[in-house]
Chains A and B, each alone.
Chain A
Amino acid sequence: ETVLRVGSWLPPTHAQNAVVWPTWAKWVEEATEGRVKVEMEYGLGHPKTMFELVEDGAVDASFSYHGYVPGRFKLTQGVEQPLMGASAEAASVAHWRVHNKYFAKAQEHDGLEVLALFTHGPGQIHMANPINSLADLKSKKIRLGGGVQGELGKRMDVTAVGAPAPKVYEMMQQGVIDGVFIPMGEQKSLRLKEVAKHVVALPGGMYLGSFAMFISPDFMDGLSEKDREAIRSVSGEKLSAMAGAAWDAADKEGLEAALADGVSVNQVAEDGAMAQEFRDLVKGMDNEWVAHVADRKVDAKAALEELREIARSYGK
């Protein structure tokens, strides 16, 4: 029996740790007929460090957010571009397929074997005080994470405040920030429902966030061919879809928790004023990304089109 150590972060109660990893662990144990047993480990270090801890074999598998390592991961930002208009599950499946067809050869995940690619649910606007239009966000102090959020913040002319996600609660409570761009699930898991009482949910959200689950090639080499294939058979697209679906479900729970706690959630309609405002605001962002990744020597434009096409037609 081989132990496969998964290094994780985020609270143990988070969907990624309570649903995604345990489900995959069960799949792996079944597929290998119990020869590979998955164990979770927390507190290994900063999330961005997981890429290298797995590469160097300090832990066998893990997951991380691509935005934590700017410069190394540029192609993964394709899926994060605004106006995808799909659920995390659909986007995750598209992410996986397009990665293998177009992006894998650019070797951004050099040193790792990618198990799955997925995205969190659509990022929305969580504010302490209500806003009536996106123009109201001008000069508001907004906590921005990495990736496309920075560009969105620039275009909205907000005052950007940088901080790790667990700090958001404290900063909202004290008024250091007026709001945050983050998926709906965080109303529950970061307890934003206590401090961010006004949410604007744009149709399909503003952006997505790209994540990878990966495993050490050395660990895979140490397994028998049969077990290697067994692990691969329960990963890839199947795992990507499951992870995306779990994050979607977390968003749904977040929305329910927020509503139950009296948070006002403005669900903007497809033809609503703010939705139109947003579409105007992000015009050209995808082309900027295509230009930005020119040095990767892949057909990013075709990839993005295919990505959107797969995601939008997923499950239909």
Chain B
Amino acid sequence: MAFSAWLTAHYEEKGPVRWLAFALELVAAVTLFLLMFLTCADVVGRYFFGNSVDGTTELTEIGIAILVFAEMPVITWRGGHVVVDILDKMWGSVALKVLGLLSAFLMSSAMYFLGVRIFELAERSLRRDEITELLEIPVGYIVQYIAVMSWATAALMITYGIYHQIIQNRD
């Protein structure tokens, strides 16, 4: 089937993680496209029709959060975060692997504990009925989303991320 061939060619991940990566990136891609479209519609509306899209700023803010945190698990498990590699030549490959595992552990822990606090903040915000100014969207939902994606990042990093590091280093 053409689509599954495309998916295999595009995603280095294995098994169900490949589908997960595709789903997350699809969310990010659609959001980004809508962000672009929204800004253009707002400007065109304001300039030519004297009427801008209500709540463009709010939707843009929510859009960035969706975009960034949909990608967070993917770039994290792929080891995509920016690293200073000045000393790489000095370290042996075993040492680099150990450092990689240490990083994975620290990153997962950080994302897990922050996720817990972010989720608590989201619940508090929902309890207090905090909404956006114009569209009156409950702010807490987007914060909950960030919390859930932080947990997803932690869980996938400590499992698939480490597996990915090990097979990558073996190649």
Contacts and interface: CB of A to CB of B under 8 A. Distances in A.
Interface stretch (B4-12, B22-30, B67-75, B129-137): B129-137
Interface string B64-91: 0000000000000000000000000000
B131 A161 contact: no
B18 interface: no
Contact of B129 (A72, A150, A159): A72
B92 interface: no
B121 A70 contact: no
A69 B46 contact: no
Interface string A171-210: 0000000000000000000000000000000000000000
Contacts of B124: 52
Given A52-B124, A70-B132, 14 more contacts: A67-B133, A70-B130, A70-B131, A71-B130, A71-B136, A72-B128, A72-B130, A110-B128, A139-B50, A141-B46, A159-B50, A160-B52, A161-B52, A162-B58
B143 to A, nearest CB: 11
Given A150-B134, A159-B51, A71 B128 contact: yes
A141 B48 CA distance: 12
Contacts of A67: 133
20 contacts: A52-B124, A70-B130, A70-B133, A70-B136, A71-B128, A71-B129, A71-B131, A71-B139, A72-B128, A72-B130, A139-B50, A141-B46, A150-B134, A159-B52, A161-B46, A161-B52, A162-B56, A162-B57, A162-B58, A162-B133
Counting contact residues on chain B (CB < 8 A from A), the size range is 10 to 19
A160 B51 CA distance: 8
Q: Which 3 interchain pairs have the tightest Cβ spacing?
A: A71-B131, A162-B57, A139-B50
Contacts of B57: 162-163
A250 B139 CA distance: 34
Contacts of B138: 71
Contacts of A34: none
A163 B128 CA distance: 25
Interface of A: 52, 67, 69-72, 110, 139, 141, 146, 150, 159-163
Interface in B6-62: 46, 50-52, 56-58
Nearest to B57: A162
Most buried by B among A71, A72, A146, A159: A71
Nearest to A145: B133
A52 to B, nearest CB: 7
Contacts of A71: 128-131, 136, 138-139
Secondary structure at the A interface, as helix, strand, loop or mixed, is: loop
Given A52-B121, A71-B128, A159-B51, A146 B133 contact: yes
A71 B121 CA distance: 16
Contacts of A52: 121, 124
B164 to A, nearest CB: 34
B49 to A, nearest CB: 9
Contacts of B51: 159
A219 to B, nearest CB: 19
Contacts of B56: 162
A48 to B, nearest CB: 9
B56 to A, nearest CB: 7
A249 to B, nearest CB: 30
A159 B46 contact: yes
Contacts of B133: 67, 70, 146, 150, 162
Nearest to A158: B50
Nearest to A157: B50
A50 B136 CA distance: 21
Nearest to B120: A56
A110 B129 CA distance: 12
A114 to B, nearest CB: 16
Contacts of A150: 133-134
* Candidate in A67, A72, A110, A139 with the most chain B CB atoms within 10 angstroms: A72
Contacts of A146: 133
Contacts of B58: 162
Interface in B134-169: 134, 136, 138-139
A162 B46 CA distance: 12
A164 to B, nearest CB: 10
